[in-house]
Chains A and B, each alone.
Chain A
Amino acid sequence: GENVEQHPSTLSVQEGDSAVIKCTYSDSASNYFPWYKQELGKGPQLIIDIRSNVGEKKDQRIAVTLNKTAKHFSLHITETQPEDSAVYFCAATSGDAGNMLTFGGGTRLMVKP
């Protein structure tokens, strides 16, 4: 089945700096890659996603890039703000499980004011 690795597990940046979180996946048939933000005590919230026919997608301060050949994708947050502090999860579809998602282990992002 699909295996998704996420790095780093924790990331601390200064307010205004950029943050990058990277994920690798194992199943070359995977074709959908979402990113979720989870604040303390809440459920994961979908913040951006990308499909395998696109290399990059942007939404204001966040962007996701996908390299299908290398089987990795990354989340980029620019001009970080304290409210960006949360746990971020990447995920990929599981080609052998009816297109279900497999999640990475999560990255705790801390933005210092």
Chain B
Amino acid sequence: DAGITQSPRYKITETGRQVTLMCHQTWSHSYMFWYRQDLGHGLRLIYYSAAADITDKGEVPDGYVVSRSKTENFPLTLESATRSQTSVYFCASSVSGDEQFFGPGTRLTVL
């Protein structure tokens, strides 16, 4: 039972480059989420999806794009990475939106 996985686990990129972080879950959960975790800010919601082809903004969506063509996948794209997007990114999934299960995270560094 793989649960929820994220790839890559570590990524270093340069300012202005496009980066896509992948999230895959095997539970067929309806809801999926992307958070970023920074020192002093805890976990902040970037985007979430209630079902395939349905996405909505969270607290800090600027500079990010998401899509959800399949229930099990929820990729997060930084179209033009900036240094302020250096962070640890967590994906989560949930049956109903409240009880959320998190992936292992992707540590992204933007130089």
Contact = CB atoms under 8 A, between A and B. Distances in A.
Interface of A: 32, 34, 36, 41-46, 49, 89, 93, 97-106
Interface in B81-99: 90, 92, 96-99
A42 B104 contact: yes
A103 B45 CA distance: 9
A47 to B, nearest CB: 12
Contact of B102 (A32, A45, A98): A45
A34 B96 CA distance: 14
B34 to A, nearest CB: 12
A104 B105 CA distance: 19
Nearest to A92: B98
Given A43-B90, A44-B90, A100 B105 contact: no
Interface in B30-79: 33, 40-45, 48, 50, 56, 58
Given A43-B104, A44-B43, A103-B43, 20 more contacts: A32-B98, A32-B99, A34-B100, A41-B105, A42-B104, A43-B92, A43-B103, A46-B101, A49-B99, A89-B42, A93-B98, A97-B58, A98-B97, A99-B96, A99-B98, A100-B97, A101-B45, A101-B98, A103-B44, A106-B42
Contact of B99 (A34, A43, A97): A34
B56 A98 contact: yes
Contacts of B104: 42-43
A104 B99 contact: no
B1 to A, nearest CB: 15
Nearest to B56: A98
Given A98-B56, A103-B43, A43 B105 contact: yes
25 contacts: A32-B98, A34-B98, A34-B99, A41-B105, A43-B90, A43-B92, A43-B102, A43-B105, A45-B102, A46-B99, A46-B100, A46-B101, A49-B99, A97-B58, A98-B50, A99-B96, A100-B48, A100-B97, A101-B100, A102-B45, A103-B42, A103-B44, A104-B42, A105-B40, A105-B41
